[in-house]
Amino acid sequence: MEKRVLFRSKWLPWVLIAPQLLVIGIFFFWPAGQAVLQSFQMEDAFGMSTEWVGLDNFRNLFADPTYLNSFKRTAMFSVLVAGAGIAISLVLAIFADRIVRFAMVYKTLLIVPYAVAPVIAGVLWVFLFSPSIGVVTYYLGKLGYNWNHMMNDNQAMALIVMASVWKQISYNFLFFLAGLQSIPKALIEAASIDGASPWRRFWNIQLPLLSPTTFFLLVINIVYAFFDTFGIIDAATQGGPGQSTSILVYKVYQDGFKALDLGGSAAQSVILMLIVIVLTVVQFRYVEKKVQY
């Protein structure tokens, strides 16, 4: 039976949610509304004059090949970060669910990356793969593979993907581990008695029961790849070499704060926001149907 809390005063619920509404209004709706307004304007670099230009900022964006290429980079980056992050986290969570000795140490070490700021994560990976002093670069050179993400586009993209996945693994790991531990052990034991192999037990029992968690993490990881990887990219590659790691969110920063194209940058923000909204709606509309609650 559904339980509902009844308030004697009709104002008390509004008072209780007022701080949250205030925070959302100030830090989301106000900047978002300002970005929508600026996307239809052309403003000088010092903000002294503003001209209404309608859809010109959007037309200029879609006529710019560098902006269209950033769509492809962002799509590839998001798929790699979300796919690799979820897959690796699921494997680690399965090991953590089965490990007996030193389980607390293993889980604690896996949660540590979540406490690291994105910029620090980017700096750490730059040190590891630095062409001159990087430890990983040194051993790759011993194996005959030259690594220089400052000159090679693919290596630069690989570096920010690895750093972004590493940063998000802890978050995914916690949810998968909680999901695995909530599955009744009786189901696993019954399948084991019936002769099901560990792979069959995972594929036919655990994975379907984890589908709500996987769906939730899919949405969160795609939003993370679109927005929260800015600090990693800025610390690791600054969008380079050339524009090879300049995904949509970083191009908004480059055009707005470096090129001082405020109208074009605002238009990019609006497009980026619409893309994330559409992706989220599509996921809830179509992907959620395959989730077994």
242 within domain boundaries = yes
pLDDT surpasses 90 at 188: no
Residue 111 in contact with residue 178, Cβ under 8 Å?
no
144 within domain boundaries = yes
84 within domain boundaries = yes
Question: How much is the average pLDDT of 104-115?
Answer: 80
pLDDT surpasses 80 at 85: yes
The pLDDT, as a whole number, for residue 128 is 94
Top-confidence residue, 288 or 187: 187
Question: How much is the average pLDDT of 28-51?
Answer: 86
The pLDDT, as a whole number, for residue 1 is 56
Cα–Cα distance list, 249 to 57, 166, 224, 226, 266 (Å): 17, 20, 11, 7, 11
131 within domain boundaries = yes
32 within domain boundaries = no
Helix or strand holding residue 173 (H, E): helix 153-182
State how far the Cα of 277 lies from the Cα of 267, in Å rounded to an integer: 15
State how far the Cα of 267 lies from the Cα of 272, in Å rounded to an integer: 9
49 within domain boundaries = no
Q: Is 158 exposed, middle or buried, given 0-12, 13-18 or 19+ CB atoms closer than 10 A?
A: middle
Q: Name the pTM for this structure.
A: 0.85
36 within domain boundaries = no
The pLDDT, as a whole number, for residue 290 is 63
pLDDT surpasses 90 at 26: yes
% of residues, the chain, pLDDT over 70: 96
Q: Say which residue the tokens 């430890």 belong to.
A: 135
pLDDT surpasses 70 at 273: yes
129-157 pLDDT, tens per residue? Answer: 999 889 999 999 999 999 999 999 999 99
SS3 content of the chain, % helix, strand, coil (to 5): 75, 0, 25
Q: How confident is the model at residue 288 (pLDDT cuts 50, 70, 90)?
A: low
Alpha carbon of residue 226 to chain centroid: 6
| Total number of domains constituting the chain | 1
Lowest-pLDDT range, 11-20, 76-85, 91-100, 253-262?
A: 91-100
- What residues make up the domain containing 284? 65-290
CATH classification of the domain holding 256 = 1.10.3720.10
Q: How confident is the model at residue 293 (pLDDT cuts 50, 70, 90)?
A: low
163 within domain boundaries = yes
